Amino acid sequence: MPPDDLSAETILIVDDEDSVRRTFREWLESADLGCRILAAADAESALLQANQQTIDLAILDWNLGAGSDGLQLLEDLALFNPDVVAIMITGFAHQATPLDAMRMGVRDYLDKNQDLDRATFLRAVRRQLERIRPARRERQLHHGLVAFRSAVDKVLPLVQASAAMTDPVPLPAAVQSLFRFLMRTTGAAAGALLVRGYDPGREPAEVCRVYGADGRPIEGPLAPFARSVAGGAIGLGEPNVMVQPDRAAATGAVELHPFEKGRRSLLAAPLAVAPGLQVVLELFDKQAPSSPLSPVSGERGRGEGDALDPAGFTDADRRLAAAAADFGAEMLRQALAERQTQRVLFDAVEAALGASDSVAQSLRGAAARPDEPPPQAVMERLKEGLGGSADAGVAGGETLRLAEAVRVLALRHGGAAVRHCTEMVESLRRLLDETAGVAEDRP
């Protein structure tokens, strides 16, 4: 067993007789127990070693000489590791006080004057290791989970920050810009963007949203998509014009949304964004070319100066809408991909936390599976999620490496080291901000 294997149990032999220590060490080494073996001649030396590494099993001489005894040493060792257990080597076992000794962690006695040979010794050691190992792995697992959860808690802000860094133009602003352009060029009086998503695995399966020309959601009841103008536009796959939609609605062939009613003309352009997602851009009521056009923010009021063009939308408007639909589809695809990336990341983190909860719960029962350390599996899930972050400003692998470094730092050196690390990162940020002339964005 490599001496630096942190998962190996540590056995400490404490005996003031050098020949005994050597013999015990030889017996243990020859048995190939997969343990780290340490030896000490007295209590002081034993405690020094316990200060440097966790002692799992102590093989203690009852009478260490110089006035100290093994039981007292065990009590001191327990200060370093409360779960330490011991095998007492004694020449006068009848003097032992079993109850106190058991309470302090003594699990076996070997009488060096009677039955202490290699076989007896190793049998006693193996018996204790069999008890120690599952409990020790369980503890390690638990500590790993605590560290992992702590790391995930630290990763989450990083993920959110990286998502914020790559956040494109906010959707409402993009929709507003698109409509401003279209309404200026076509002379439309108003517009709306209809988004319909269908996912049979969701409840409700169909979700419809409408945004006005100002990019803000339009609330209120909507006509069923299957009977809507937007549904008809999707079927044709290209921009089309309706004159006086109310007439078509009167035949029962279509149901109008409230904002479509009373319109003179309507130009609907479908946007091919993604499977299962139907998006239609609608423009309403083309104005006569001579009518003054003012900057548009939301729907314009139809006042005296806004003469409606009886001819309605033209082929040129249609071509323009087709081009805008292509652009809008690309814009929405990006927004959607960004949201999906973030969702994947958050789902991954959530799944990771859920998985660690589930492992923690299983640890409470006796059926823990120490051979399958969940932190690795959980990290794989997180890695997978981060891997899906194609658009992230910080590559998923980098984020994970940072999180892992923080986790190891926390595990080995505690919270103070993590705080120091955070301060270093902050200092670096300030330095770069100053160098690049970036304004301070928080107190």
Partner 1 sequence: MNPTPQADLFAEVFSLLTPERLLRDPRADGDGVTVCVVDSGVERRLLEEKFARQGVQIHPIEGGVFTADRPAPLPYDGRQSSPHGTTVADVILTLAPRVRLYSADVFGPVGTCEVEVVIRALRWAIDAWKCKVVNLSLGVPEQRMQQAQRRQQLQRAVEEAYFKDVLVVAAAHNEHPLTRSYPAAFAPQLLSVDKRLFTDPLQFAYEPREQIEFLAHSRGYLGPFAAEPATSWAAPHLAGIAARILSLRPGLKPFEMKTILYWMFQAAKNGGR
Q: Omega into 3 within 30° of 0, i.e. cis?
A: no
- Give the contact letters, 183-202, x = binds to partner 1 (CB under 8 A), - = no: -------------x-x-x--
With a CB cutoff of 8 Å and minimum separation 6, the contacts of 88 are: 60, 62, 70, 71, 96, 101, 106, 108, 109, 110
Beta 265-274 vs 240-243: how paired, if at all? antiparallel
Contact pick of 193, 242, 271, 418 for partner 1 (by CB under 8 A): 242
Query: Which residue, 155 or 229, has its beta carbon nearer to partner 1?
Result: 229
Q: At 267, is the secondary structure helix, strand, or coil? A: strand
Q: What does each C-alpha distance from 260 to 64, 181, 192, 196, 238 come to in angstroms?
A: 96, 20, 9, 17, 19
Instruction: Confirm or reject binding of residue 330 to partner 1 (CB under 8 A).
Output: no
Report how far residue 363's alpha carbon sits from residue 357's, in angstroms, rounded to the nearest whole number. Answer: 10
The least distance separating partner 1 from the CB of residue 223, rounded to whole angstroms, comes to: 11
With a CB cutoff of 8 Å and minimum separation 6, the contacts of 171 are: 215, 332, 335
Contact pick of 125, 229, 296, 335 for partner 1 (by CB under 8 A): 229
Instruction: Confirm or reject binding of residue 241 to partner 1 (CB under 8 A).
Output: yes
- Give the contact letters, 61-100, x = binds to partner 1 (CB under 8 A), - = no: ----------------------------------------
Instruction: Confirm or reject binding of residue 221 to partner 1 (CB under 8 A).
Output: no
Instruction: Confirm or reject binding of residue 263 to partner 1 (CB under 8 A).
Output: no
The length of the chain is: 443
Instruction: Confirm or reject binding of residue 251 to partner 1 (CB under 8 A).
Output: yes
* The two three-digit tokens of residue 383, written as one number: 């890695």
The least distance separating partner 1 from the CB of residue 232, rounded to whole angstroms, comes to: 4
Residue in this structure with the two tokens 């928080």, named with its chain if needed: 442
Instruction: Confirm or reject binding of residue 316 to partner 1 (CB under 8 A).
Output: no
Query: Which residue, 61 or 260, has its beta carbon nearer to partner 1?
Result: 260
Contact pick of 82, 220, 221, 235 for partner 1 (by CB under 8 A): 235
Chain CA centroid to CA 133, Å: 31
Instruction: Confirm or reject binding of residue 227 to partner 1 (CB under 8 A).
Output: yes
Query: Which residue, 183 or 266, has its beta carbon nearer to partner 1?
Result: 266
Instruction: Confirm or reject binding of residue 279 to partner 1 (CB under 8 A).
Output: no
Nearest to 266 by CA among 232, 221, 227, 305: 232
Q: What does each C-alpha distance from 40 to 49, 346, 362, 363 come to in angstroms?
A: 8, 51, 39, 35
Looking at residues 145 to 164 of the shown chain, list those that interact with partner 1 (rule: CB under 8 A): none
Contact pick of 29, 100, 238, 330 for partner 1 (by CB under 8 A): 238
Q: What does each C-alpha distance from 348 to 274, 343, 353, 360 come to in angstroms?
A: 23, 8, 9, 18
Instruction: Confirm or reject binding of residue 248 to partner 1 (CB under 8 A).
Output: yes
Contact pick of 90, 128, 278, 287 for partner 1 (by CB under 8 A): 278
With a CB cutoff of 8 Å and minimum separation 6, the contacts of 207 are: 196, 197, 198
Task: Please choose, out of 72-80, 124-132, 162-170, 228-236, the segment that lies near partner 1 by the rule CB under 8 A.
Answer: 228-236
Binding region for partner 1 (CB under 8 A): 196, 198, 200, 205-206, 225-229, 231-238, 240-243, 245, 248, 251-254, 268, 275-276, 278
